[in-house]
Chains A and B, each alone.
Chain A
Amino acid sequence: MVDLKQTLSRFLAIPGVRLAVLVGRDGLMIEGLARDGKENLEAVGAIMTTGISTAEALGQEIARGSVVGALMEYERGLVSVDPLGDFALMVTLSDNASSISRVRHMVKASRNDILEALDIA
């Protein structure tokens, strides 16, 4: 049985990544890790789910398919959202853009592990 916490800690091992949250499409957090424990992981997951719903709606409106990734640039950080099929989202917060490609790569690499952990065929 794959340990989700361990999978998420691999994201945190990427320099610059502050938190990683795996959240279901219904907004309920499946697992989450933060580097300094101050962040409200559940809120991040819940808010992001709503954000992605809006992005999906736009995608439908402009007939460009589903969301395959999203990036939000803030004054002091960067949030990357990577959908895992229909059931979950991986949300990461990084200090800046330099870690993004490694984050995306890690999402691809961890995808099967996560699917297995969630018992989804």
Chain B
Amino acid sequence: MEQLTNLIISDRELAIIMTALNKLMHDTSATSVMLIDKSGQVIATQGSGARRNVTSLGALLAGAFSSSRHIAELLGEKDFRTIFQQGVNENIYTTLVEEQWLLVIVFDKLTHIGLVKILSKKSSDELGRILERVRADTTRRKSSVLNVEFRSSVEDTIDLLFRD
């Protein structure tokens, strides 16, 4: 499958994503819901998952998920597309969206995994459609953001902040 080198998410699409995450969180009574890129970057979060360590969480969850898929390969299994981590007070359910994003639901004892599974399937399908639009949109938008002035300024900032 062709992989783009980058993705551009517009205001409109982000708003739609936030609405979808919010609905899922509400319907499952989850503690928080996150959408992360499979490289570990956090795209959006809802709920008390607006925690300090959300950057690290994104990196670790993506790492764990990526690791799990490689395990599948070694076992001769086609793929593991979801992970369920069961804790003492809270659980985490992670599912792949269209080979690019991970939908992460953190929930406690008040919610049951069966419900999370069923409702996240629907959200995952919806997010998949959003992703398709984002992909289509990207080629159009790139040059408006990454113009010459921007690139030049970033290089200056790099020189400044990454100095010896």
Contacts and interface: CB of A to CB of B under 8 A. Distances in A.
Q: Answer whether A and B touch in the complex at a CB cut-off of 8 Å.
A: yes
Interface of A: 1, 4, 22-24, 26, 28-32, 42, 45, 87, 117-120
Given A29-B112, A31-B112, A24 B26 contact: no
Contact of A118 (B26, B113, B119): B119
B3 to A, nearest CB: 31
A4 B115 contact: yes
A117 to B, nearest CB: 8
Closest 10 CB pairs of A and B: A28-B114, A30-B114, A24-B114, A30-B115, A29-B112, A119-B122, A29-B114, A28-B113, A118-B118, A1-B27
15 contacts: A1-B26, A23-B114, A28-B112, A28-B114, A28-B117, A30-B114, A30-B115, A31-B112, A31-B115, A32-B112, A42-B112, A117-B27, A118-B118, A119-B118, A120-B118
Nearest to B110: A5
Interface in B14-37: 26-27
Contacts of A118: 115, 118-119
A117 B114 CA distance: 13
A45 B113 CA distance: 12
Q: Is the interface of B mostly helix, strand, loop or mixed?
A: helix
B118 A87 contact: yes
Contacts of B113: 28-29
Contacts of B27: 1, 117, 119
A91 to B, nearest CB: 12
A114 to B, nearest CB: 11
Nearest to A41: B112
Contacts of B112: 28-32, 42
A120 B125 CA distance: 13
B119 A26 contact: no
A42 B126 CA distance: 29
Nearest to A119: B122
Contacts of B26: 1
A1 B27 CA distance: 7
A101 B29 CA distance: 32
Nearest to A23: B114
Interface in B97-133: 112-115, 117-119, 122
B117 A26 contact: yes
Nearest to A1: B27
